[in-house]
Amino acid sequence: MTMNNKLYCIANWKMNMTIESAEAFIRELKNLPLHNKSELVICTDFVSLSSVVFAADGTIIRVGAQNVHFEKNGAFTGEISTDMLVKSGAEFVIIGHSERRHIFHETNNMFNKKITATLSADLIPIFCVGEKLEDRKQSRTGEVLASQIKQGLAGLSESACDKIIIAYEPVWAIGTGLTASIHQVEEAHAIIRTVLESNGFDGKNSSVLYGGSVNPGNAGELLNIHGVNGFLIGGASLKVLDFFAIYQNFNKEIN
């Protein structure tokens, strides 16, 4: 459920599209009846980024990247800078996704540097936070979320954080088919907003999204949860009609 917060429907394609399939997706999507009830964002891989920006030109579709390095340039083989993203036409960057945390062992300190660099380049960070299953079983969800947010946003001003999108993604619900319950999602989003407020940020009016096996069947119910301002969508964003079906929920009356 939205308060005064901006709504977002964001696709995270991960490592799944070629240039050809990405362009075909955008061609099909932009011919569907798009609306302006939420921001529609596609986060693609670096190789397809410019092609997706070109294919989406003249539409309401906005484009983001899935990662970024915190240095502007240098001897960082295989990395992508904020300047490269800006010149490619990206507007958003996913930072701190659980796959970056747990597969590539990136730290909250690294995410803090990435967020700082992203904001300096006038890109919008999509900062992901979320607990693992063992954390939830040990009732450590609040502790984990607080640590990730405090360290990830350390040293940032309130005005800077107004530009940041927070995405709550319980690790145990990403790509597993499991979805957090209404109570679990509402509780986690409330914790996130409380932590933001306690650290001097505007938790009430921040855009906090949910991600974790969102699909056309559960999107409507999830969007009506108090404190949920949209989705970061993985697997269901790879098929145009599934993604569009989720997106259409933003065009309905939200309680």
Residue range 218-251, pLDDT digits in tens: 999 999 999 999 999 999 999 999 999 999 999 8
**Which residues is 232 bridged to in the sheet?**
10
Which CATH entry fits the domain spanning 8-251: 3.40.1030.10, 1.10.580.10, 3.30.70.360, 3.20.20.70? 3.20.20.70
Helix intervals (H) in 129-218: 133-137, 141-152, 158-161, 182-198
Residues assigned a catalytic role: 97, 169
Sequential DSSP letters for 10-48:
EEE--S---HHHHHHHHHHHHTS---SSSEEEEEE-TTT
User: Chain centroid to CA 10: how far?
Assistant: 6
Q: Report yes or no: 221 and 184 within 8 Å, Cβ to Cβ.
A: no
pLDDT at 84: 98
In this prediction, residues 57-79 reach a mean pLDDT of 97
- pTM higher than 0.85: yes
* SS3 at position 198: helix
| Confidence band, pLDDT 50/70/90 cuts, at residue 176 | confident
CA 195 to each of CA 53, 94, 113: distance values in angstroms, whole numbers, following the listed order: 35, 21, 20
Q: pLDDT for 84-132, tens place per residue?
A: 999 999 999 999 999 999 999 999 999 999 999 999 999 999 999 999 9
Percentage of residues in the chain with pLDDT exceeding 70? 97
Domain ranges within the chain, ordered by starting residue: 8-251
pLDDT at 241: 98
State the Cα–Cα distance between residues 161 and 98, nearest whole angstrom.
21
In this prediction, residues 16-35 reach a mean pLDDT of 97
pLDDT at 82: 98
State the Cα–Cα distance between residues 164 and 142, nearest whole angstrom.
20
In this prediction, residues 196-223 reach a mean pLDDT of 94
Q: pLDDT for 122-147, tens place per residue?
A: 999 999 999 998 999 999 999 999 99
Tokens representing 98? 């659980």
pLDDT at 58: 97
